[in-house]
Amino acid sequence: MTTASPARTAQRGVRRLGDRVFSGTAVGAGIVILLLLAAVALFLITQSIPAFTVDPEDVSILRGQSFVEYVGPLVFGTIWAALLALIVAAPLAIGIALFISHYAPRRIASVIGYVIDLLAAVPSVVYGLWGATTFAPIVRPFYVWLNENLGWFPLFAGDVSATGRTILTASLVLAVMILPIMTAICREVFLQAPRLHEEAALALGATRWEMIRMAVLPFARGGMVSAAMLALGRALGETMAVTMVLSVSGVISVELLTSTNPTTIPANIALSFPEAYGEGVNVLIATGLILFLVTFAVNALARYIVNRRSAFSGAN
């Protein structure tokens, strides 16, 4: 024992200077990220405190409303637009992902996957420009048709906007924007479904859809939900598409086709920020803080679902 101990201490004792400097730098970089995030939260909070205490009469953008009255319609509009986008995008994304993973020939599938990845990179301002000038006039006839035939339904009631730039158009553009990311995640999950289960289902005489419903979808449920949540988080924070497409009036309304539409928090910040001054800036930053908290909650929930799923998927 006495002969072994010096060798062991020598082994442990060698901590070269280079190693210490390098690992120190790496740890430092990690800590910088933590500090950065803490700074984001801290700055947003300190900058938004004046917004809660300020006299509404002193701030021009509040137009005499209290902060809660000002922010209520914005929160409603943000969630409403994002939910509409998700309702449209989710079935489509699952359909495309299934098409790529289980229906399309392999060579075509890889090309489509590549195209979808490229589309995820198209800047949001381009989607906004396209939505406002090209897409809105195209969908307007469909809005007129919906209004004439289903006008008794509250969502489609009211007078159809003359420009087509309504909350539904904004949500549809948002849906197009979140399609690529949702499709990409769903495709990954579908491709991971156990091959043996699929082949067993087909061998027992199941049709392709029965195979998908029995072997693929149950396996992919968690992944699909988390893809939807991540897409929702993206739709909540998306700014330019809504800013450029929507003609805003800042009310709470569920009518999808009229020219009086609720607006969203990010769009409101982008529109009002250049002209804001004094406490007006603080009010806008406070709305940004609310947005941050909402997206944080949605994303955290998505991560939680993913992690819970990965704990059980080892069963295969």
Burial of 15 (0-12, 13-18, 19+ CB in 10 A): exposed
**How far, in Å, are 94, 230, 297, 299 from residue 304 at the CA level?**
21, 12, 10, 9
Q: Which residues contact 168 (CB under 8 A, 6 or more apart)?
A: 84, 139, 143, 256, 257
Binding flag, residue 127, another protein (CB under 8 A): yes
Q: How far is the CB of 284 from another protein (least distance, A)?
A: 8
Cβ closer to another protein: 35 or 64?
35
**How far, in Å, are 96, 97, 228, 237, 259 from residue 210 at the CA level?**
18, 17, 23, 37, 45
DSSP SS3 for 300: helix
What whole-number distance in Å separates Cα of residue 97 and Cα of residue 79?
Answer: 25
Residue from 138, 204, 251, 254 touching another protein (CB under 8 A): that is: 138
Interface residues for another protein in 45-74 (CB under 8 A)?
46-47
Binding flag, residue 238, another protein (CB under 8 A): yes
Cβ closer to another protein: 225 or 253?
225
Interface residues for another protein in 4-23 (CB under 8 A)?
16, 18-19, 21-23
Binding flag, residue 76, another protein (CB under 8 A): no
The alpha carbon of residue 149 and the mean position of all alpha carbons in its chain are separated, in whole angstroms, by 33
Lay out the site mask for another protein across 292-311 (x = CB under 8 A, - = otherwise): x--xx-xxx--x--------
Size of the site for another protein (CB under 8 A): 90
Lay out the site mask for another protein across 240-269 (x = CB under 8 A, - = otherwise): x--xx---------------------x--x
**Structure tokens, 197:** 């289960």
Binding flag, residue 37, another protein (CB under 8 A): yes
